[in-house]
């Protein structure tokens, strides 16, 4: 009976640890949604959706200063790139997020 209790305790502990851990995919999805929600209606209507976007952490020095909020003083940003699959006239839309992935610093069509 004591062994069953130990096994049950271990199982509960493993399930708790697994349930509390965050995965990169979930974090990436939340950054996609933060960026998507920052788009205006016109930008969202360009068939852009969070499902056809990529998230990449890049150095601030790789971005022209005119594309970022001037008050940002971090070293890295997340670049969320939305692919415009229906209309190549505008190109891809890149939304820059701060290091926490919660604040929009700028956006630009490429």
Q: Of 104, 109, 40, whose CA–CA distance to 81 is shortest?
A: 109
Residues 6-30: tens digit of each pLDDT: 766 676 766 765 555 444 444 556 8
Question: What would the pLDDT profile of 50-106 be if each residue is shown by its tens digit?
Answer: 777 889 999 988 888 788 887 888 889 999 998 865 666 667 889 999 999 999 999
DSSP characters for 9-41? HHHHHHHHHHHH---HHHHHHHHHHHHHHTS-H
Strand-pair category, 104-109 with 76-82: unpaired
């Amino acid at each position: 009976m004591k062994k069953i209790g130990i096994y049950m305790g271990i199982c509960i502990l493993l399930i708790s640890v697994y349930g509390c851990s965050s995965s990169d995919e979930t974090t990436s999805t939340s950054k996609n949604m933060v960026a998507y929600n920052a788009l205006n209606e016109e930008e969202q209507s360009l068939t852009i959706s969070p499902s056809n976007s990529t998230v990449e952490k890049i150095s601030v020095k790789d971005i022209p200063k005119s594309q970022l909020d001037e008050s940002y003083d971090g070293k890295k940003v997340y670049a969320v790139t939305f692919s415009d699959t229906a209309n190549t006239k505008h190109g891809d839309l890149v939304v820059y997020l701060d290091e926490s992935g919660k604040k929009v610093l700028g956006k630009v069509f490429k």
